[in-house]
Structure 1
Amino acid sequence: MSELPAVPSVVLRREALAEGWDDDELARAVRSGELTRLRRGAYVDAVLPAEPAARHALLVEATLAGLRRPCVVSHQSAAVLLGLPLWDVPLDRVHVTRSPGAWSDRSRVLRCHVARIRDDEVVDVAGVPVTGPVRTMLDLARSLPHEAAVVALDAALHQGRLSHDTLRARLCDIVGSPGSRSAARVVAAADGRSESVGESRSRVILQRWQLVPSALQFEVRSGNGALVARTDFAWEDARLVGEFDGRVKYGRLLGVGQEPGDAVFAEKRREDAVRDERWDVVRWVWAELAAPHRLAAKVRRAHERASRRLT
């Protein structure tokens, strides 16, 4: 069994100087690859992780070590430490929240928010105070663009890290605060049945263009009730199902010893079986999410064709 990669250790300049290093030695260590610069005054004793969330966790550690006033890690930084997935969320700054009386601040590596946080909204992550999943998601719903916020909230709901009922109840606590209307819109749009970023983004686009599916993770069944396929979206009035096709999805379909082509062929047979039950199928890919109007037009045409077939 292969070993998990070691987590790099953060090396702070001030601590290195206190131990007898000097700036020339630190510079030589960086040039030789012994150290890698994380940010000004902070290094790691290995190559930086490729995963943005892992790099951000190191940035959080290095930044907190330099803060003199107490704070709670919040927003996207809290999501990273809690292991909650993010999409299209900037991770260049560490986000913290301090109680009223402090002042908001923004630097090259730090974003300090000022807000009240209840004791029951804070959890401990390896000795670091962090906003819990519900508060973190509401903060993101208030501050992120709608699509990115829905993706994050979908993932948290899908993982069972929080419930829709709790989110709706907690919305009452932030009524009138900045971003509260945006948060309410995100909570209303979120759905834990989405199983990927692509499905979440697709649903946001479909909602925006008034093409809301009647069902998610819809089961197509044969005349005798046998399961034929489970599809991402369905418009039952037109007997139309929709599928977002991403590479990750095909990776999940691979069996032992199968090649990607095998999964694609199996998916083609699955679509044929769905059509045999008199359901039409519309598919789209990542590139089409970047042109929402074209995706909307494609789904609308498919819906109209399927509807005409039923008349």
Structure 2
Amino acid sequence: MEIPFIGSDAVADGRLTRAHLRSHYRPLYRGIYIPRHHQASLRERIAGVSLASPSAVVAGVAASAMHGAKWVEDDVPVELVAAVRRQRGLIVRDETLAEDEVTTVAGIRVTTPARTAFDLGRHLSRGRAVARMDALMNARPFAFEDLALLAKRHRGVRGLRRLRVALPLVDGGSESPRETWLRLLFIDAGLPRPTTQYVVRDEFGRYVRRIDMVWEDFKVGAEYDGEQHLTSRRQYVLDVQVRRTLQRLRWHVVHVIKEDAKADIIAQARDALLSRGWRP
């Protein structure tokens, strides 16, 4: 049996008895069931919403996941623009959607990438909004001009000021929430805005490294080192070899780990930039 499913339909079709439904399955939403011990994925939860309310439109973070954005946890609330009763695991928004702000992904009605970004920027705090919009931009690029048109169309809606603050900081080159966090840390500290995902080549044009973010004019870069740098011997050896090549090419790369203090990260990048000729 496919999951999730409509409980009353399964009983009516004879696939389950009411007793079997109650003993072996649990409600995901009202009338929508999954096996009792099954941990539903985000996609299954979204599918359950679509079964419960076919006219509902999935929005926000869940919509960004439907468009392919990464770093979306399975337990995030599913945002809906719909006239449905509120219940656990759902965020129901009473908002207006134009026909061209809705699309279909895998048979489910979701907000378009532009409208999804518009909502993320309005409803989330700046750091979270930029990280979510970065991930969406990386998966499904959207035009800033389209968001400006949406702001004009929906003049006066809640959160436009938040959107105006977050939108200029969006960069689809960011490949993880921590990269977004690091980029914003530098910008907030008054450092120049870095270029993301910059490819370094050697004097013969051979590929050396794609650095998370760089200040190209000063040959200074920064990378957020995740767990793979600690758990994979092969990755560690490759990193050491690449760092030697970057040093030979006169690149200074600041390597950041989660244990680093913000002040130390900023100081390293600032000192490197100043030593290469940057002047605030």
TM range (shorter): 0.7 to 0.9
Question: For 2:110, what is the secondary structure of its paired residue?
Answer: strand
1:24 aligns with 2:19: yes
Query: How much identity, in percent, do the aligned residues show?
Result: 25
Question: For 2:214, what is the secondary structure of its paired residue?
Answer: strand
Shift in alpha-carbon separation, 1:271–1:117, aligned structure 2, 3 A: same
Shift in alpha-carbon separation, 1:192–1:9, aligned structure 2, 3 A: same
The answer as to whether partners of 1:171 and 1:180 remain within 8 angstroms in 2 is: yes
Instruction: Name the amino acid aligned to 2:64.
Output: A
The answer as to whether partners of 1:11 and 1:45 remain within 8 angstroms in 2 is: no
Matched with 1:303 is 270
Q: Once the 2 structures are TM-superposed, how far is the Cα of residue 191 of structure 1 from its aligned partner?
A: 0.8
Q: Once the 2 structures are TM-superposed, how far is the Cα of residue 36 of structure 1 from its aligned partner?
A: 6.0
Shift in alpha-carbon separation, 1:115–1:306, aligned structure 2, 3 A: closer
Q: Once the 2 structures are TM-superposed, how far is the Cα of residue 40 of structure 1 from its aligned partner?
A: 5.7
RMSD (CA atoms) = 3.4
Q: Once the 2 structures are TM-superposed, how far is the Cα of residue 241 of structure 1 from its aligned partner?
A: 1.5
Task: Tell me the alpha carbon deviations over residues 112-149 of structure 1, each in whole angstroms, 9 at most, x when there is no partner.
Answer: 21222111111123443321111111111111222222
The answer as to whether partners of 1:220 and 1:230 remain within 8 angstroms in 2 is: yes
1:266 aligns with 2:238: yes
**Structure 1 stretches lacking a partner, 5+ long:** 1-6, 252-258, 289-293
Question: For 1:112, what is the secondary structure of its paired residue?
Answer: strand
Q: Normalising by structure 1, report the TM-score.
A: 0.73
Question: For 2:41, what is the secondary structure of its paired residue?
Answer: helix
Q: Normalising by structure 2, report the TM-score.
A: 0.80
Q: Once the 2 structures are TM-superposed, how far is the Cα of residue 179 of structure 1 from its aligned partner?
A: 0.5
Matched with 1:11 is 5
Matched with 2:69 is 84
Matched with 1:131 is 111
Shift in alpha-carbon separation, 1:145–1:241, aligned structure 2, 3 A: same
State which of 46, 55, 72 in structure 1 corresponds to 2:41: 55
State which of 228, 234, 237 in structure 1 corresponds to 2:214: 234
Q: Distance in 2 between matches of 1:310 and 1:67?
A: 60
Q: Distance in 2 between matches of 1:169 and 1:40?
A: 37
Matched with 2:137 is 157
The answer as to whether partners of 2:212 and 2:221 remain within 8 angstroms in 1 is: yes
Q: Once the 2 structures are TM-superposed, how far is the Cα of residue 178 of structure 1 from its aligned partner?
A: 0.6
Q: Distance in 2 between matches of 1:45 and 1:72?
A: 25
The answer as to whether partners of 2:67 and 2:140 remain within 8 angstroms in 1 is: no
Instruction: Name the amino acid aligned to 2:138.
Output: H
Q: How many residue pairs align between the two structures?
A: 277
Question: For 2:191, what is the secondary structure of its paired residue?
Answer: coil
Q: Once the 2 structures are TM-superposed, how far is the Cα of residue 271 of structure 1 from its aligned partner?
A: 0.9
Instruction: Name the amino acid aligned to 2:274.
Output: S
Shift in alpha-carbon separation, 1:303–1:80, aligned structure 2, 3 A: closer
Matched with 2:80 is 96
Task: Tell me the alpha carbon deviations over residues 66-94 of structure 1, each in whole angstroms, 9 at most, x when there is no partner.
Answer: 349x43222233223333334479623x3
